[in-house]
Amino acid sequence: IYELFKANRPADIVSVVEAGKASGLEFPELGKYLGSCIESVTTAAHVAHHARTVLDRYYKRQIIHAAGRLAGSAMAEDSVNERLAEIQKLVLEADAIFTSKLDSYNSGFDTFLEDVGAQSKREVYRTGIRQLDILWKGIASSEICTIAAGPGVGKSTLALNLLHNFGAQNIPCAYFGTEMKSLETKMRHVSIASGVPSFKFRIGALSLEDRRLAYEAISGTIGKMPISISNEDRPSIAKIDAVIAEGKFKVVMIDSLMFCDLPKAENMRLRVQQFMVDLNALKHRRN
C-alpha cells in the first residue's frame, strides 16, 4: 500500500490485491482479509458521529457518578443540594450540546416568514404598567427580563406590583423572594392590594379598618390569583426547574439574583454569569 501511495496510484482493494500478486504477496483470502481490515477501521468521514457518541457516553457516566455521590450523601441536606445542582448542570450542558442546531438564510425566505408568523402565536403578557408596556411591548414567553438598580431603589416593590398584575390576569406565577420569607412577601403584596401601608404589617399595628381592607384584598382579589410564593432561602437552578415542572407556571420571578444558590467560580461575576447561562438553557427547555 505504501509503494502504491509513493507511486501516486490508487490503493483500493483491487489495486492492492493486484500489486500484491505482482510482488509475490498472494494467498487465497487476501481480498477478503483486506475487506475485513477496512470494515474494522473507522473512517474520518464518521469522526463527528463517533465524537458525539463518545461525548454522550461521557455525560452519561458523569451523571451516573454524580447520582452515586447523591445517594451516598442523602442524609446531609447541604450535600444533597450540592449534588442535585451538579447533576442539573451536567444535564443542562448535555442538553445544550446535543440539541444545538445551525441555521442559515439559505433555508428560504418563505420559511423565515413562517417562523416570524409563528411568533404571533407566542403568549405575550402585559405588565399592567403603562410606561413599561410602552417600552417592552409586553413580555413574551421564553424571555428573560432583568431589572437592575441600586439598593433601596424599589426593585422588589416593582417586582411585587408586576406579580400582582400578572396574577390579576390569571397568569400562573411563581415568586422566589430570596431576600424575604414568604410571610414578608405576602405582607408586602397585601399592602399593595389593600392600600394599607406596609409598615403597619411589619410592626403588627393594624387597626380594625386595616384588617377589613386586608381581608377584602385577600378574599376578593389575591386569594383567587394563581400565585405561588417559594420559601426557599437560596434557590438553585435545579430547584427553580423543579418548581416550574410541578406547577406549570407561565411567569417566574426571582428577587434577587445575588441571594440564589450560584455556581462555584473564582469570583462573583463568573458565578452570576454561569447562573444566567444555566437559566437561559432552562428557559428554552421549559419554554
**How far is the C-alpha of 52 from the C-alpha of 49, rounded, in Å?**
5
**How far is the C-alpha of 222 from the C-alpha of 260, rounded, in Å?**
26
For 213-260, the pLDDT digits (tens) are 999 998 888 888 999 998 888 888 888 888 888 888 889 999 888 888
pLDDT surpassing 90 at residue 208 = yes
Q: Does residue 281 contact residue 96 with C-beta atoms inside 8 Å?
A: yes
Name the one residue in this structure whose C-alpha cell is 442546531: 101
**What pLDDT does 215 receive?**
92
**What pLDDT does 175 receive?**
93
Overall average pLDDT of the 47-64 stretch: 84
Q: Per DSSP, which regions of the chain are E strands?
A: 124-125, 139-140, 173-177, 227-230, 251-255
**What pLDDT does 182 receive?**
84
**What pLDDT does 99 receive?**
64
Q: What is the dihedral of CA 115, 100, 241, 128, to 10 degrees?
A: -30
**How far is the C-alpha of 16 from the C-alpha of 30, rounded, in Å?**
9
Please state which of the ranges 16-30, 54-68, 90-104, 205-219 shows the lowest mean pLDDT. Answer: 90-104
pTM of the model: 0.61
**What pLDDT does 197 receive?**
92
**What pLDDT does 226 receive?**
93
The maximal CA–CA distance of the chain, rounded, in angstroms, is 111
Q: Does residue 17 contact residue 31 with C-beta atoms inside 8 Å?
A: yes
Counting Cα atoms < 13 Å in the Cβ hemisphere of 115 gives 8
Three-class DSSP category at 266: coil
- Could you tell me the three cell numbers for 50? 463517533
Backbone angles phi, psi at 171, to 5 degrees: -95, 120
What is the helix (H) or strand (E) element at residue 35, kind and residue range?
helix 30-40
Interaxial angle between packed helices 47-72 and 77-98, expressed in degrees from 0 to 180 and rounded to the nearest 10? 170
What are the C-alpha distances in Å from 68 to residues 26, 80, 94, 251, 285?
A: 56, 11, 19, 34, 25
Please state which of the ranges 71-80, 169-178, 200-209, 221-230 shows the lowest mean pLDDT. Answer: 71-80
Please state which of the ranges 23-32, 199-208, 254-263 shows the lowest mean pLDDT. Answer: 23-32
235 Cβ contact list (under 8 Å, min separation 6): 176, 178, 243, 254, 260, 261
Question: What residue type is 106 in one-letter code?
Answer: N
pLDDT surpassing 80 at residue 103 = no
**What pLDDT does 200 receive?**
92
pLDDT surpassing 60 at residue 100 = no
Choose among 178, 202, 207, 177: nearest CA to 190. 202
pLDDT surpassing 70 at residue 17 = yes
